[in-house]
Amino acid sequence: MTNKIAPAPKAGILDIAPYVGGKSKIDGVAEPIKLSSNENALGCSARAIEAYEKAKEKLFRYPDGHAAPLRAAVAQYHGLEPERLVFGNGSDEVFALLNQVYLEAGDNIVTGEHGFLAYRISALACQAEVKLAEEPDQRVSIDALLDLVDDRTKIVYISNPANPTGTWNTPEELADLRARLAPSILLVIDEAYAEFVDEPTWATAFPLARGADNVIVTRTFSKIHGLAGLRIGFGYCPVDVIAAIDRIRLPFNANLPAQFAAVAALEDTVHIEASRQQILNWHPRLRQAIAGMGFDIRKGIGNFVLIYFRDAEEAARANEFLMSQGLIVRHVANYGLPQALRITIGKDAENEAFLEALSRFAATR
């Protein structure tokens, strides 16, 4: 007799929609232009590659569980207290650790309706509820977030600048949010795209976090440093938060080649500046060209642009058309924006190719 009772995942796990990353292949196209995952158009620093090569000799060793050299390098680069840093397998892992530490079944997180999906997935895995605040004009509203906060809210997440909308909140808004939030609720400000900002009404929340016991700022090496494949990011947290996270953080969560390469990446200020300039040069050029073709495109920050089409059907058609031209962009329906496509800013030739393809699509409208 066979036993038909199979192991069952805990309640809620199979209700979670799996994360779908940016596509990287098109059938029949040998080398598509991939503009779907907000990776660094210029790749990573040659110095980071050199450090990665050096790490090869050490692969039989466990990584430094405290990430001491990287901790010192990040602290110095950003002017932060080293003891307030926690490193993760990408900043995604920092969100997951925070959720695991603070959320019990029945608790909730609050975030914007178009907010980054990683916050939600690991919260659902903790059997917590995800409350999505309306974003008028696709921008996080502090009032709308606060309206959803209740006595089971444990964490409020904001990405600033936001992906995929490219909108942002000012330091005054974030200070206001923090002032109106109970001190027992964590405020996590995800600054994955901080280095691409050239906007006087945006500022890092490191100073806000420094003076607060409930504010965390996260950063990643996946964007400006071009190390998405190595998986390394960090959180700047109150020491009590670090003490709690360190109880459950797997001891070697930040891998050895990633730690080596990240230290070297921080030293390569030339590559950092070139990566930033690539975005700052192309952002307005793309916006202007795309608007000139009659599409709705708004001011935004980050290494991507978001195009709003007439409706979801047109966005899907544009996506298919671009694929037929060898271009992979991101249809962001799962971010609550079915009428939009997000395009990562690429190398010069890639951006030119995208504009040409989009103008051919525009001609079919």
Q: How many CA atoms lie within 13 A of 222 on its CB side?
A: 23
CB closer to ligand PLP, 228 vs 280: 228
Minimum CB distance to ligand PLP, residue 265 (Å): 13
Which residues does 126 contact at the CB level (< 8 Å), separation at least 6? 99, 100, 103, 104, 105, 107
Q: How far apart are CA 160 and CA 131, in angstroms?
A: 18
Minimum CB distance to ligand PLP, residue 91 (Å): 4
Tokens 């440093």 sit at which residue? 225
Minimum CB distance to ligand PLP, residue 196 (Å): 11
CB closer to ligand PLP, 168 vs 295: 168
* Distances 58 to 259, 293, 316 between C-alpha atoms, Å: 12, 53, 47
CB closer to ligand PLP, 102 vs 234: 234
Which residues does 96 contact at the CB level (< 8 Å), separation at least 6? 88, 118, 122, 125
CB closer to ligand PLP, 335 vs 361: 335
> β-strand 85-88 against 233-236: which pairing, if any?
antiparallel
Minimum CB distance to ligand PLP, residue 361 (Å): 25
CB closer to ligand PLP, 190 vs 268: 190
Minimum CB distance to ligand PLP, residue 115 (Å): 8
Q: How far apart are CA 64 and CA 252, in angstroms?
A: 7
Q: Which residues bind ligand PLP (CB under 6 A)?
A: 38, 90-92, 116, 159, 163, 190, 192, 220, 222, 228, 233
CB closer to ligand PLP, 91 vs 169: 91
Q: Is 323 exposed, middle or buried (0-12, 13-18, 19+ CB in 10 A)?
A: middle
Minimum CB distance to ligand PLP, residue 295 (Å): 22
Closest residue to ligand PLP, based on beta-carbon distance = 90
